[in-house]
Amino acid sequence: MTLEYGWRALTHLSEIDESKYGGTVKLGGWIEDIRNLGGIAFIQLRGRDGVLQVTALKKENEELFKSLTALPRESVIVVEGKVQENKEAKLGFEILPSQFEVLSEAATPLPLGVADKVGADLDTRLDNRFMDLRKPEHSAIFKVRSALLEGIRGYFSKELFIEVHTPKIVAAGAEGGSTLFPIQYFGTDAYLAQSPQLYKQMLMATGFERIYEIAPAYRAEKSDTVRHIAEFTSLDVEIAFIKSSEDVMDCIQELVRDTVAFVKENASFELGLLGIDLVTPEIPFRRITHAECVDILKEKGEGLSPEEDLDTVGEKLIGEVMKEKHGIDFYFITDFPTAVKGGTFYAMRKAEDPTLTGYFDLGYAGLELVSGGQREHRYDVLVEQMKENNLALEDFEFYLSAFRYGMPPHGGFGLGIERFIQNMLGISNIRETVLFPRDRSRLVP
């Protein structure tokens, strides 16, 4: 039997309501399960937006009954049939099939169960990702991710930012040598970009004024953790004519609040499936200085020198304190000492106290989500800071030249998209938020 179909010719489950009862529809999907009781069979057909019961009766059409119930699980079919109300079916209706066509028969055994209640370990899931994502609670993560990106783009579009794309094959790193991935580029040494840092700053010399980029960033992270991956999606933002880091923090808290609200409204089905009750945070976000964090951690028995960045344990403890004391998930850690951000040669130091920068992190329930601040835009000072960091100035000439002919004060930030989703959905391992994650031991699929 052949059935006419096409990407717009099929009905989706969400389009079926009482007005369609008694009518004929055509749907495509995967056979999740078949329960054959002899004279009647219940076939669970999984589509983009749910699982439908197809009820076949032997006495109606024996040939159709036999061939449909003989199909292996996860085969792909298109089925045409009448929509009939059935209070006992999960959706309140079922389809009585009149025709169907097998588009792809699944091999057996399956590498991973789809309808099974028992979960597989993460490695097996990631090895068989195409199958793993047939589970609605797994694909829901990516639908939330898509809504989150739409919310982010909506915010920036409203604020008159333009979206840009900068090269991912670069000649110099910006975030320290230890996490650079070297590559061969037509016989020359090159790297995968750790961050668009140098390019987003150079764009401030063009007149674009407000830019953002959503793109992969690469870090050869030395250790395996549940919050680091080798290829992550970075939201990078740069804004010209800022007065101080305050302007950047302003932008971040509005962005985060509006994006969470957007996801809550536009991914409510998926959030429900995942059992997440999102709370839109109130702004302004509370602040805590780096020096205050040092004191708190000391009290908790966690030594952190005033010249050190918070480690994972420190980040988690500060997150717990902010939750217990103030009931909040989002908070800025401000006034990073120059010694911590010193390696960040592009950070502007405070005029009143050069041992401090206006640099900050945004913590999200114990996880660093954002880091950013005002940049040093004055050519001479920037050169001095680069020398302090023992950088070979000739390697950065392409960057420095943008500061010589009119560079407005500017600042910006980087936000890890996967970390945003990870904490929003309470996911323990960041790898679950990436379709095909890359880490020290994972290059395939």
Out of 372, 396, 399, 424, the only residue in the binding site for ligand AMO (CB under 6 A) is 372
Is residue 333 within 8 Å of residue 354, measured between CB atoms?
no
Q: Does 228 bind ligand AMO (CB under 6 A)?
A: yes
Binding segment for ligand AMO (CB under 6 A), chosen from 99-107, 255-263, 304-312, 406-414, is: 406-414
Q: Does 433 bind ligand AMO (CB under 6 A)?
A: no
136-142: long-range contacts at Cβ-Cβ below 8 A with a sequence spacing of 24 or more?
Answer: 136/50, 136/273, 137/273, 137/274, 138/432, 140/270, 140/273, 140/274, 141/270, 141/274, 141/421, 141/425, 141/427, 141/432, 141/433, 142/435
Least distance (Å) from ligand AMO to the CB of residue 280? 20
DSSP 383: H
Q: SS3 for 49?
A: coil
CA pair distance 383, 377, nearest whole angstrom: 10
Q: Does 285 bind ligand AMO (CB under 6 A)?
A: no
Q: Which of 152, 119, 231 is nearest to 424 (CA)?
A: 152
Q: Does 234 bind ligand AMO (CB under 6 A)?
A: yes
> Which residue in the shown chain puts its C-beta closest to ligand AMO?
416
Is residue 303 within 8 Å of residue 272, measured between CB atoms?
no
Least distance (Å) from ligand AMO to the CB of residue 217? 7
Binding segment for ligand AMO (CB under 6 A), chosen from 47-55, 154-162, 323-331, 369-377, is: 369-377
Least distance (Å) from ligand AMO to the CB of residue 236? 6
Q: Does 197 bind ligand AMO (CB under 6 A)?
A: yes
Q: Whose Cβ is closer to ligand AMO: residue 11's or residue 423's?
A: 423
CB-CB neighbours of 112 under 10 Å: 18
Binding segment for ligand AMO (CB under 6 A), chosen from 63-71, 108-116, 281-289, 416-424, is: 416-424
Q: How many helical (H) and strand (E) elements, i.e. helices and strands, does the chain have?
A: 13, 16
Question: What's the token pair of residue 401?
Answer: 């030249």
Is the preceding omega at residue 284 within 30 degrees of 0, hence cis? Answer: yes
Out of 419, 421, 424, 431, the only residue in the binding site for ligand AMO (CB under 6 A) is 419
Q: Does 262 bind ligand AMO (CB under 6 A)?
A: no
Window 30-49: contact mask with ligand AMO (x via CB under 6 A):
--------------------
Q: Which of 258, 232, 327, 255 is nearest to 286 (CA)?
A: 327
Q: Whose Cβ is closer to ligand AMO: residue 314's or residue 412's?
A: 412
Question: What's the token pair of residue 178?
Answer: 């230890």
Write b or e for each residue in 303-330: b if 16 or more Cβ atoms lie within 10 A of its Cβ, otherwise e. ebeeeebbeeebbbbbbebbeeeeebbb
Question: What's the token pair of residue 302?
Answer: 């966690």
Q: Does 333 bind ligand AMO (CB under 6 A)?
A: no
Q: For 137, what's the count of Cα atoms within 13 Å in the CB-facing half-sphere?
A: 13
Binding segment for ligand AMO (CB under 6 A), chosen from 227-235, 249-257, 284-292, 331-339, is: 227-235
Residues that bind ligand AMO (rule: CB under 6 A) add up to a total of: 22
Out of 94, 412, 432, 434, the only residue in the binding site for ligand AMO (CB under 6 A) is 412
Crossing angle of helices 417-424 and 245-266, rounded to 10°: 50
The conformational region for residue 112 under phi > 0 = left, psi -120 to 50 = alpha, else beta, is beta
Q: Whose Cβ is closer to ligand AMO: residue 319's or residue 372's?
A: 372
Q: Does 309 bind ligand AMO (CB under 6 A)?
A: no
Residues 160-179 that bind ligand AMO (CB under 6 A): 175
Q: Does 314 bind ligand AMO (CB under 6 A)?
A: no
CA pair distance 405, 206, nearest whole angstrom: 10
Q: Does 416 bind ligand AMO (CB under 6 A)?
A: yes
Question: What's the token pair of residue 358?
Answer: 């206006």
Q: Does 232 bind ligand AMO (CB under 6 A)?
A: yes
Is residue 264 within 8 Å of residue 256, measured between CB atoms?
no
DSSP 204: G
CA pair distance 252, 271, nearest whole angstrom: 23
Q: Does 371 bind ligand AMO (CB under 6 A)?
A: yes
Q: Whose Cβ is closer to ligand AMO: residue 97's or residue 412's?
A: 412
Q: Does 255 bind ligand AMO (CB under 6 A)?
A: no
Q: Whose Cβ is closer to ligand AMO: residue 28's or residue 416's?
A: 416
CB-CB neighbours of 337 under 10 Å: 22
Least distance (Å) from ligand AMO to the CB of residue 308? 15
Out of 414, 423, 424, 432, the only residue in the binding site for ligand AMO (CB under 6 A) is 414
Query: CB under 8 Å to 114, separation ≥6 — which residues?
Result: 30, 32, 46, 73, 74, 131, 134, 135
Least distance (Å) from ligand AMO to the CB of residue 146? 19
Interface residues with ligand AMO (CB under 6 A) are: 175, 195, 197, 219, 221, 228-229, 232, 234, 236, 368-372, 412-416, 418-419
